Structures are given as structure tokens and as C-alpha cells.
Structure 1
Amino acid sequence: MADHGLLSSKPLRAAYSTIDATDLRDLIASTYPFESPFECGLLNRGFNDVYLLRFPDGRSKIARLSSRRARGESNVAYETSLLCHLKAAGGDVAAPLSTNTGALSIEVYAAEGRRSLVVFEFLAGDPPGTDLQDTKAMAASLATLHRLAQDYSGPASHYVLDLQHLVIRPLQRLLNHASMDDLLAGRLREIASSLIAKIEATTQLTTVFCHGDCHGGNTFMTSSPDGRRVGSFFDFDDGGPGYLAYDLAVYLWAVLLNNRELELSAEQSEQWRCFVDGYREVSPLSPSDYSAIALFVSARHFWFLGEYASRSGEWGSAALPPEWLEKQVGKLEQWGALETP
């Protein structure tokens, strides 16, 4: 008789697990005041797992299961409270929905440990893409959210979007990555040191409650009854108190990301101009904040690369191959000469 070996003495720990949609539906049905039956399906696997809930009357809701992240514990107490504040003040956001007991989130015990679950309102519409009118409206909506959040007094954020969060800790995650070599590490340290010095030398920077991820994909556009375009925001998971220049730089970073040249194309320049004009229609933008946007494009890229580096246990080290990292370091070196368009 063939010997197939012994089972391990205990289950091996998971770095990441995808929760079965049927099990998640049953958990939501037992925890939230929703009429049954409803469907639940995995919509997107990314930095978090997003599920679409469909109800017999045609309505939908979104369930987001937060991933365990290198930054530390979930920030949902702050995020959900801020969203409730913004919604009550008239902000266009996807608000969290309450459980049977009035909680705005629950903890789910997955194979890898606790993960936070939040169910949100469903937002209709589509991202603004490159439409200039929608780009302007999205920026105006972002400015409105910044203004409405000024008197927020709920639970504090676990994370502040400062240089430690955006550059220093992400740099360390990159330096620890399997694809990193001494030459690349030295170049990254030099870029980060120069960037930090420039930002620290910049005075009178405004701080706001940042969305943290306003690249265009986390905003859905619709038309109001009077024909006005409205940008509604979701996915505040990477938000927190931070620099206004950073929250605006995320959009410029997204525009520049696939460019080989430092300069924007004519179409991209018009897109960026509409974004800035839309923001300024609602809220002022000081010369100091505006000039600093270019610096925070690089800070955003450090944060982005650090997030990828921190996921090696889930995605594998091959997700950041040496050749790709080399290109990203080159991009950061190029952006060292960037000025806000």
C-alpha cells in the first residue's frame, strides 16, 4: 500500500484568503437588517476585497472586507464615522450602513486573522475618465468634502498621512523586498532623502482630512435633476489627516504614471487645468500648496511602491520584478525635477 505521508500536525497559517461569497452573504444576512434573500458575489480583489449585494427589488449594496495590511490595524472606526459626518452635512459619499445593533462595521475571523467588514451604500454612475466636465466636477466635490470635514470630531484616525506614512516606512518596505539590490537601494535612499528635505523646507502647507486616493477611479459621476454633474466618492480606506497638496497630487500622479516624458501632453494639461479649476471654484489653493503638489507626486509613488512591496506574502516577490523596480526608480529620479504644471 502506497505511503502518502502524514498530515501536518496543525493547519498552516494563511497569509491571505478569499472569503466564500455564500458564507459572507449568510453572515451579512444574520448581522444586518436586510430583507432576505439577496445575492452576494465577489466584485473585485485588490487592496481590499469588494462584494456586490443584489436584492430582489433591484437595489444593490457594496460589502468591503478589508485586507490585513503592513500599516497595522484597520482604520474603519475613523473612516465610517467621517463618512457619516460628511453624509449628514450633505457630502456626496457612499455612507456605511448599520448592523442590527447599530454598529458601522463588524470583525470577521478569516484564516489569516481578523478582517473588518463594512457594508456601504451603492453608488451609481461611472468614473470621470478623461471627460473635462467630469474632471472639474470631481475636483469640486473633493474640495466640498475637505470643507465639510473641517468640523469633524469623531474617532481619531490611526494614521496621519505625513512623511513617515508616505515615504519613510514605504521606503523601508522597498529596501526589504527580495528584488532589491544594493545599487537600487542606494538610489532610492538618495531620492527619498532629497524629497524629504524639500518637503520639510516647504512652509505654510495646509492640512485637511484627505480622501487619500483621488485618482479618478474612486469617484462615480452622475447628473443632478438640474443637469449639474456630481462626483460621489467612495473608498476612504487610505484617508486620514494629511497635506492638501498630497490629496491633489494623487490625481496628477495618476495622469503622469504612464508617461515616458516629464511633461504632460496637451490633452493631459487641459485635464489637469480642469481639475485645479474645479477645486478652486469651491476652495482656495495657496501658492505654497500648489507648488508642493509636484513634490507629493513622488511621495505618492513611494507610498504606492511600498504598498506593493508589503504584499509579497500574498502576491509573491515576482509581483515586483527587478526590471520593473528599476523603471520605478528611474521615474522617481525623473520626477525630482517636476514642477506643478
Structure 2
Amino acid sequence: MPALVDAMPEVPPYDTDLIATHTTAASTSVAHWVALHHGIPVERCHLIRRGLNDNYDLRARGGARYVVRVYSIRPRGGFNIDFEAALLEHLHDRGAGVAPLVKCHNGQTHAVLRFPEGTRALTLFQYVDGAVPDTLEEFELTGCTLAHIHAAARDYAGPPSRYILDGHHLVGRTLQYLEAYPDLDPAVLDAYRALAGRLLEELTALEPGLSRVVCHGDTHGFNNHIHTGPDGSKAAAFFDFDDAGPGFLAYDLSVLPWSYMVRKTIREPDDTLRERWTHYLRGYRCAGGEISEDDIKALPMFVQLRHLWNMGEAVGRLHHWGTSMAPADWLKKQIDGFEAWKGLDLTA
């Protein structure tokens, strides 16, 4: 009897009908591209996570450490690299705590890569030592550093951001993605349309009194590290500015409490979050950051807007992540949470 393997037909190397939606590059490929485009001899490289982008930890020979970002193709449009690179250079030159971008050896900010799903980009950043804030002192230091970043960005005059963190960016895109969601209950979609209308009306009413800054856009407490210098003093540094753009101070502040409430599946701050939030705002104010009464008043609204934006990031990637990242029953349950957040108290 012939061996089973001998009876199997030949299989082509790939199906010619295959259409890729997202390709995860092997770390060996990323190491090769960094050596090729940045001229850095690589000792090792590994994938940190797949998410909005694919991020890799890379160590060069000699010990220098970097983070490589391979941008994913986003439904919102092209990459925001020109703005992010120029903003980081501007902030770094002014001593703000950020992770600088490392340019290619030809002076370009990024390398252009051809993937099966389309053109993607690769950027290299200096690695930020340390860990996410944990103690009250570290949350205060984080707020202080964010104030320095906002202040340093005031005279930024480089390439504009592709994103303006306004109502359309935070709400309008999410509605577009929800309308394309398969088999979503029409009543649920109508509820989100009503929610979006309410929030946009509220934003329009509050907008004249709100402070404006160049937002980091994703200040959820895990895009910044606290590290200790040679003299024993602590410092904070922010990274992942690819969602940055001009917007509202209250939005940039609201992302932190939103993050901790969502991660703990609660709709009200617990005592731990309230203490952290109080020290976060204290640090921001102590560094000269001005937060108006209107900004504080708008925080509950921006917590809701942030949640809608984050939902949009998931439902806009069904081709990549699938519906399990934001199931239809989960989308339905969120509506009650928005109602609970209307009365959120984030004064400190």
C-alpha cells in the first residue's frame, strides 16, 4: 500500500485567488529592513504586539535598543508620518519627554514597504526604558510631562496632521463603520445615531470655552514610561504619537480615566483611579498647564467620545480583526454605559 503522502496531490505555493487583508512580517524581515534602510547592525528582533500597528523590539549590536513600527493600513486614510516625525523632532528639541524618531540613512523619516495588501511604512524609534506609571508620584510626573508636551507644541509650525480631533474624527467615522457592520440590529444602529447626535450637539455648545492643544491622542497611561536616570531622579516620556493632531485639551486628559474604567469594566472611578486622577491633574497644573472650568465640565462628554472613537477603531477593522473584537451583543451593551457616563464626576 503506498504511503499516504505519495497519494496527496501537489499543492501550489499559494492560491492565486488569495487577497491579503493584513500580513504580519517575520522579525527576521524587520531586522533586514532596519539594517538596509537605517544601516544598523541588528543583534536580535522580536514582535511585541499586533494592534493598530505592528511593533517590534529591536536590539542593535553594541546594545542600543529601538522600537520598530510597521504601520497597518487604516480605514481612515494615509499614514500621518510626516506630522508625527516633525512634531517629535520639535518636542525633543525643546526638551519635552518623548521617544525620538530615528531617520533612515538617506535622511527619510520612514521606509516604504510593499506588502501583499498594499504599501505600508516602517519607522524606527529610540526605546524608552522604564515601565508604565504605578505610584501616585509617577502619575503626577506623567501629568507634568504631558503639560510640558502641550506647552512645547504651541509653536509647532511643521507639516499639518492628517487628523483634526474634532467631532467627525471622534464620532462620524465610527458611525460609518457601524453602518457597514454585518447583521447589526437596526435598533442598535439607531441608538448609536441618536447618541452621536446628542454628543455632537453637546460638543457644539461647549466648544467656544474649551482649551485647544496639539493632542497626543492616545494618553491612556500605557503609551508612556517612567524611567530613573543615573542620578536617581525619575522622568516620564511619551511615545506612539501616530494618533496626534490638533484638538481639545479635555479630550487628551479624558483618555486616562476612560482607559482605567474600561479595563476594569466599571462605569465609575474607584478610589484608586480617583487618587491617580487627582495626582495626574495636579502634575499637569504644577507644570503650568491651565485647565479651565469648561474643560473639567466637558470631561464626561469626552470620555464618551473617546469610547466611540475606540469602538470605531475596532469595527473599522473587521477585515483584519474580525467581529470578535467588537461583537454585536457587546456593541448593544455599551449603550447603557454611555448613559451612565453622562453624570460622571471627574472634578479634582
TM-score (norm 1): 0.94
1:136-155 → structure 2 map (5 Å cutoff): 136-155=140-159
1:168 is the counterpart of 2:210:
no
1:55 aligns with 60
In structure 2, which of residues 302, 318, 323 is the aligned counterpart of residue 312 of structure 1?
318
In structure 2, C-alpha distance between the alignment counterparts of 1:225 and 1:4, rounded to whole Å: 61
In structure 2, which of residues 291, 301, 313 is the aligned counterpart of residue 285 of structure 1?
291
1:44 is the counterpart of 2:49:
yes
The Cα shift of 1:263 comes to 3.1
1:329 aligns with 335
Could you tell me whether the CA contact under 8 Å between 2:57 and 2:68 is conserved in 1?
yes
Greater Cα offset, 18-27 or 144-153 = 18-27
In structure 2, C-alpha distance between the alignment counterparts of 1:317 and 1:299, rounded to whole Å: 21
In structure 1, C-alpha distance between the alignment counterparts of 2:132 and 2:188, rounded to whole Å: 36
1:211 aligns with 216
In structure 1, which of residues 113, 122, 128 is the aligned counterpart of residue 118 of structure 2?
113
TM-score (norm 2): 0.92
Greater Cα offset, 326-335 or 134-143 = 326-335
Greater Cα offset, 315-324 or 111-120 = 315-324
Cα gap change, 1:318 to 1:262, in 2 (>3 Å):
closer
1:71-92 CA distances to partner (integer Å, 9 max, x unpaired)?
Answer: 1000011001100010011111
1:186 aligns with 190
1:265 aligns with 270
The Cα shift of 1:338 comes to 2.4
Cα gap change, 1:291 to 1:227, in 2 (>3 Å):
farther
Could you tell me whether the CA contact under 8 Å between 1:174 and 1:309 is conserved in 2?
yes
Cα gap change, 1:8 to 1:120, in 2 (>3 Å):
closer
The Cα shift of 1:337 comes to 2.7
In structure 2, C-alpha distance between the alignment counterparts of 1:180 and 1:336, rounded to whole Å: 25
The Cα shift of 1:153 comes to 0.8
Quick one: which amino acid aligns to residue 200 of structure 1?
A: T
In structure 2, C-alpha distance between the alignment counterparts of 1:8 and 1:231, rounded to whole Å: 47
Cα gap change, 1:50 to 1:260, in 2 (>3 Å):
closer
In structure 2, C-alpha distance between the alignment counterparts of 1:11 and 1:21, rounded to whole Å: 27
Could you tell me whether the CA contact under 8 Å between 1:209 and 1:239 is conserved in 2?
yes
1:84-136 CA distances to partner (integer Å, 9 max, x unpaired)?
Answer: 0100111111101111111111211111111111100011000003x211111
In structure 2, C-alpha distance between the alignment counterparts of 1:110 and 1:258, rounded to whole Å: 33
The Cα shift of 1:258 comes to 4.2
Cα gap change, 1:22 to 1:271, in 2 (>3 Å):
same
In structure 2, C-alpha distance between the alignment counterparts of 1:230 and 1:247, rounded to whole Å: 20
1:20 aligns with 26
Could you tell me whether the CA contact under 8 Å between 1:174 and 1:305 is conserved in 2?
no
1:223-271 CA distances to partner (integer Å, 9 max, x unpaired)?
Answer: 3455443210000011111111100010121122145654322222111
Quick one: which amino acid aligns to residue 205 of structure 1?
A: L
Specify the SS of the correspondent of 1:145. Answer: helix
In structure 1, C-alpha distance between the alignment counterparts of 2:217 and 2:11, rounded to whole Å: 50
Quick one: which amino acid aligns to residue 328 of structure 2?
A: P
RMSD (CA atoms): 2.0
Specify the SS of the correspondent of 1:72. Answer: coil
In structure 2, which of residues 133, 136, 139 is the aligned counterpart of residue 132 of structure 1?
136
The Cα shift of 1:311 comes to 1.0
Could you tell me whether the CA contact under 8 Å between 1:161 and 1:243 is conserved in 2?
yes
In structure 1, which of residues 109, 122, 130 is the aligned counterpart of residue 127 of structure 2?
122
Specify the SS of the correspondent of 1:257. Answer: helix
2:3 aligns with none
2:255 aligns with 250
